[in-house]
């Protein structure tokens, strides 16, 4: 009988602890695990990964817009420094009500990652202390630009030239 890999042990542990909440958990390859969970339990699974399995570092948070399926997928990439394994903790939320509990209390490093997902996709992270613009201009009033249904303004060059003139006038005043 062969010994289980660390990745298989992680998958088994998550499935055993959250049998109803885990939609899918699998080893993707050496040092990579994917865990998909119901959105209302992502916080609890995150705590388990951190406190019980030693996933102590948030590498990034990513989002995917599945416009045809009318949903977003949010992926927290969390790293265990000891195990040298990366877990993609995934969940799906509806596009028409993109709300997810923030994991900032689990991994403090999600601060800017969740903020970027809010800004670029319009995903509201409940409990996040500072959902404000990070990358877009402070006068941005358009829809989130990484949504698949985002349309550029009719003439973006014209808008840019207007802003430059406005800024030039303010600087010369």
Which residues constitute the domain of residue 136? 6-147
Position 84 in a domain: yes
pLDDT of the residue at 162: 74
Position 161 in a domain: no
Position 63 in a domain: yes
What is the number of structural domains in the chain? 1
pLDDT of the residue at 60: 96
Which residues have C-beta within 8 Å of that of residue 159, sequence separation ≥ 6?
153
* Ramachandran sector of residue 146 (left: φ over 0; alpha: ψ -120 to 50; beta: rest): alpha
Q: Looking at the predicted structure, is the pLDDT value of residue 85 above 90?
A: yes
pLDDT of the residue at 170: 65
pLDDT of the residue at 37: 98
Position 163 in a domain: no
Position 168 in a domain: no
Indicate the SS3 state at residue 139. coil
Section 72-101 average pLDDT: 97
Instruction: Name the percent of the chain lying above pLDDT 70.
Output: 92
pLDDT in tens, 135-162: 998 888 788 999 999 887 666 666 667 7
pLDDT in tens, 69-79: 999 999 999 99
For residue 11, what is the domain's CATH number? 3.30.460.80
Position 38 in a domain: yes
Position 17 in a domain: yes
Position 104 in a domain: yes
pLDDT of the residue at 165: 77
């Amino acid at each position: 009988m062969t010994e289980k890999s660390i990745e298989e042990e992680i998958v088994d542990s998550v499935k055993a602890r959250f049998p109803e909440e885990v939609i899918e958990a699998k080893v993707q390859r050496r040092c990579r695990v994917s865990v998909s969970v119901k959105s209302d339990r992502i916080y609890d699974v995150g705590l388990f990964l951190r406190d019980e399995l030693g996933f102590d570092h948030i590498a990034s948070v990513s989002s995917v817009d599945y416009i045809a399926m009318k949903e977003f997928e949010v992926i927290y990439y969390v790293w265990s420094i000891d195990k040298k394994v990366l877990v993609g903790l995934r969940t799906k939320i509806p596009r028409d009500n993109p709300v997810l509990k923030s994991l900032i209390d689990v991994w403090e490093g999600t601060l800017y990652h969740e903020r970027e997902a809010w800004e670029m996709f319009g995903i509201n992270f409940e409990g996040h202390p500072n959902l404000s613009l990070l990358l877009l201009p402070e006068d941005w009033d358009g829809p989130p630009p990484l949504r698949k249904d985002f349309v550029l303004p009719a003439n973006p060059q014209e808008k840019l030239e207007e802003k430059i003139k406005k800024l030039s006038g303010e600087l010369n005043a």
